[in-house]
Structure formats: C-alpha cells, structure tokens
C-alpha cells in the first residue's frame, strides 16, 4: 500500500514547507543532502548505499554532530559551530543508505528550558523536551525517522506528547561518540518513528542489533506477562492516566499482574538520579559559566549550582545506588516480560509552562533499561482534558530490546 512506503526527500520537504513555519521542528535543513538524496533515489537500487535504510530520511537532534552542518546544542554560546566529522551513529546511518536531512531543534544543552518547537497536534502546547524537534517532526509527518537523546525523559516523554513511537534502547547500545555529553552516566541515545516497523528497522541499524526487527515477528515461547504497579508516582501522575492504565490492566487480567508500587524504593532511586544528573551536568556544562553565564538559562544555571553543592562522597554513593536500583528492578521484574506504565504524567502541557515532568522516565534512564512508548488509539486511548493523548510505556530489563519490541507489537495489537 502506498501509505506504507517511506517518505522520499521531495515529500519530506513539501511537508516541512506546509507545516514548519508554525511547528519550528528544524534547526537547519541541508538542501545539498536533500538534492543528493533525490539523485540517489532516481538511480538503480544497487551499490554501497543500498542498505536497510536506503533512501529513508532521518532528522538528527542538534546535539549530535553531522559533518558540515551546524551543531549548536540549543545554545547561543555555540552559534556558528560547524561539526567537522559525523558522530559514529550518523556514520552508521549513512552506511545503511539513510539521507540525513538536517538537525532537529533541541532544548538548551538537552535540558529543561523550552525550545521554540510547538506540538503539531495543538500549537498552544509543548512537544516536550529535550528532543523537541525530533518528536514533533515525526508527528507532523515531515519525516519517518528521527534521532534523539534521553538523560531524564527526553525521548519517551516527547514521544508521548506528540503521539509517536519511540525507543530508548539498553544503555550503551547506541554510540555516544560525537554526541554532547551532559551526564556520562545517564546520557543515552533514542529513536523516533511513525510506527513499530520503522522503529525496529532504524533500531537495528543504530544499535547494531539486527534481531530487533526479528523481535516484531518472533512468536513468544509463552503468553506475555506484564507487571503493573498500581499508583506508580502517585499524585504527580494525573488521575485520568492512572485510570487509563487500570482499564488496560483490567482488560488483560491473564497477562497483567497488579502490585502496589514500592514507594520508598522509587523515591530513593529518583533522588539518586537527581544527584548524579546535577553533579555531572555541573562537571560537563558548568565550566561555561565562567565566560558565558549571561547566555545561559535559569534552568541550566540552577542545575549547575545544585551540582556544585553535591559532595564527591554523595556522588559516589549515588553511583553505588544506581547499581542497587538496577538489581532491585531486576528482581521486581523477574518472571515478567516487562513493566506497563505511562510514558508521561499527563497530556502535553501548555507551551509556556515548560517541557513537562520526566518522573515517568528517570528510573529507566538511571538503570539504563530499554523502554518504548506506544501511542495507543481507540477504546484504550488515554487522553487529557484538551484531547491530547498520553503514551503507554513498556520497560524491560537490560538487553531485552528485541523482546521488548515484540511485546510492544503484541500489546498494540491487543489494544488496537
């Protein structure tokens, strides 16, 4: 069917021309790459560029180097910076035949200050952050595939707000060479796509795990079993989100066990994430304060100043607690294929209110577990008071990326 085909460069540029004056998803578009991509598609389907992503157009978050393109990290401090070489993941995309169309908008240093990008479904609302442009460009139908990053909730949360599919794979499976470092412990690369098939195809390339696509069609050895933690994150998650998840759990009782959320451990490990993030963002971005404080947002300055107050002893303790967290959730999920939760605390906030709360994602950035966001529609769709959807998040333990994609396909089919 025509609608199942990937968008070509011409279609992408046309969609951008129609919609991006309002959405503002792009920091830069490479016209030369677009022209070269069109030429490539008019030639024979052979040669070194005929790979798994042949002719597919990808947007790259503007904290990731693409040779010859600006990479400004969402900050005026780096205005005019041109990347000299491709990030390792970008080189992999090119080798797979992908067309790098341009750089998508990021929040400043991939942190919390809102970007210029708007939510394609309602321009009065935020697309989330920090991978604002990547999620919005896919949601607006401007591209099929995009790359983002997550340190707190910067892939899964904007996917939820924008109603697209996203995967944050197991930490370390996508190279961070050539990607801005804000937290050496927590930074992870993630991906966005218009559907699970494209998500798996892109994931297979950037993670170098060819079995990701196989995971979509591989039959499970036994009926899937999920865990749902009732009341997870408490009042920070909107009531209608809790109700929507309970409705899903009640509809699949043979597949979903319901247990009370372990509140003490969750609170402790959320604090662990915060200590590590503040300390390391202070290490990595803090030195810019000396000469550029006036060009930095209040949000990033506040994080740096918090980090300055974290002692080495407390930081080292937090790193140990990170290992404890991974072991704790490994035990909690023993015997389960994954955890069912919300991708965000609610629908996308009003634009001027910021990029939203990342509490639903921080634990999986801390542990490095793979997680996926699904934009459920129909009877089981979770929608807020303004009619914007909330994604369903599936999380699995380390290394179970392929099985997670299969689980996502199963759940999407059951709830569709």
Torsion of CA 31, 158, 349, 183, to 10 degrees: -100
| 297 flagged as catalytic | no
Q: Residue 217 has what pLDDT?
A: 85
For the chain, give the mean pLDDT.
95
Give 337-356 pLDDT, tens digit per residue. 999 999 999 999 999 999 99
CA–CA separation, 72 and 110 (whole Å) = 11
pLDDT-above-90 percentage for the chain: 90
Question: Domain coordinates of the chain in residue numbers?
Answer: 2-216
> DSSP string covering 232-256, please?
TTGGGS-HHHHHHHHHHHHH-TTTE
153-182: pLDDT as tens digits: 999 999 999 999 999 999 999 999 999 999
Catalytic residue among 154, 160, 343, 358: 154
The catalytic position among 24, 61, 114, 168 is: 61
pTM metric for this prediction: 0.96
Any alpha helices (H) in 163-262, and if so which ranges?
196-206, 211-217, 239-251
Alpha-carbon distance of 52 to 201, in angstroms, equals 7
Rounded distance between C-alpha atoms, residue 42 and residue 45, angstroms: 9
Q: Is 51 exposed, middle or buried (0-12, 13-18, 19+ CB in 10 A)?
A: middle
pLDDT tens digit string along 32-74? Answer: 777 776 666 655 544 445 799 999 999 999 999 999 999 999 9
Cis peptide bond prior to 130, omega within 30° of 0: yes
Q: What is the DSSP string of 50-73?
A: -STTTT-EEEEETTB--TTSB--T
| Residue 61 annotated to the active site | yes
Q: Are 114 and 28 in contact (CB under 8 A)?
A: no
| 211-239 residues labelled b (16+ CB within 10 A) or e (exposed) | ebbebbeeeeeeebebbbbeebbeeebbe
* pLDDT tens digit sequence for 77-94: 999 999 999 999 999 999
In angstroms, the CA 390 to CA 135 distance is 14
Grade residue 209 by pLDDT with cuts at 50, 70 and 90.
confident
What CATH number does the domain located at 2-216 have? 3.90.1300.10
């Amino acid at each position: 069917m025509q609608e199942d085909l990937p968008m070509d460069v011409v279609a992408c540029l046309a969609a951008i021309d129609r919609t991006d004056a309002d959405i503002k998803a792009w920091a830069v578009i490479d016209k030369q790459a677009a022209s070269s991509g069109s030429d490539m598609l008019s030639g024979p389907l052979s040669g070194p560029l005929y790979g798994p992503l042949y002719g597919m157009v990808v947007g790259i978050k503007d904290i990731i180097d693409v040779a010859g393109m600006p990479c400004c990290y969402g900050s005026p401090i780096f205005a005019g910076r041109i990347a000299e070489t491709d990030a390792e993941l970008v080189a992999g995309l090119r080798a797979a035949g992908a067309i790098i169309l341009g750089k998508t908008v990021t929040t400043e240093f991939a942190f919390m200050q809102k970007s210029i990008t708007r939510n394609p479904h309602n321009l009065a609302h935020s697309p989330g952050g920090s991978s604002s442009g990547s999620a919005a460009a896919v949601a607006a139908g401007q591209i099929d595939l995009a790359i983002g990053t997550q340190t707190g909730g910067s892939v899964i949360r904007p996917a939820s707000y924008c109603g697209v599919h996203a995967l944050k794979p197991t930490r370390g499976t996508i190279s961070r060479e050539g990607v801005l470092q804000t937290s050496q412990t927590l930074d992870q690369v993630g991906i966005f796509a218009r559907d699970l098939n494209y998500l798996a195809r892109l994931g297979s390339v950037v993670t170098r795990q060819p079995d990701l696509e196989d995971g979509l069609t591989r039959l499970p050895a036994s009926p899937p079993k999920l865990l749902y933690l009732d009341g997870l994150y408490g009042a920070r998650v909107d009531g209608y989100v809790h109700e929507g998840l309970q409705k899903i759990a009640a509809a699949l009782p043979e597949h979903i066990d319901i247990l009370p959320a372990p509140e003490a451990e969750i609170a402790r490990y959320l604090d662990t994430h915060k200590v590590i993030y503040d300390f390391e963002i202070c290490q990595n971005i803090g030195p810019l304060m000396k000469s550029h404080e006036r060009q930095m947002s209040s949000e990033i300055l506040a994080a740096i100043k918090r980090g300055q107050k974290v002692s080495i002893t407390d930081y080292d303790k937090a790193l140990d607690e990170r290992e404890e967290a991974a072991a704790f959730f490994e035990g909690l999920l023993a015997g389960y294929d994954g955890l069912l939760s919300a991708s965000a605390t609610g629908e996308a906030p009003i634009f001027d209110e910021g990029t939203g709360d990342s509490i639903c994602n921080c634990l999986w950035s801390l542990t490095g577990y793979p997680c996926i966001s699904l934009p459920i529609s129909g009877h089981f769709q979770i929608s807020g008071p303004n009619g914007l959807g909330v994604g369903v998040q599936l999380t699995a333990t380390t290394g179970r990326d392929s099985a997670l994609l299969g689980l996502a396909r199963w759940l999407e089919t059951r709830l569709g």
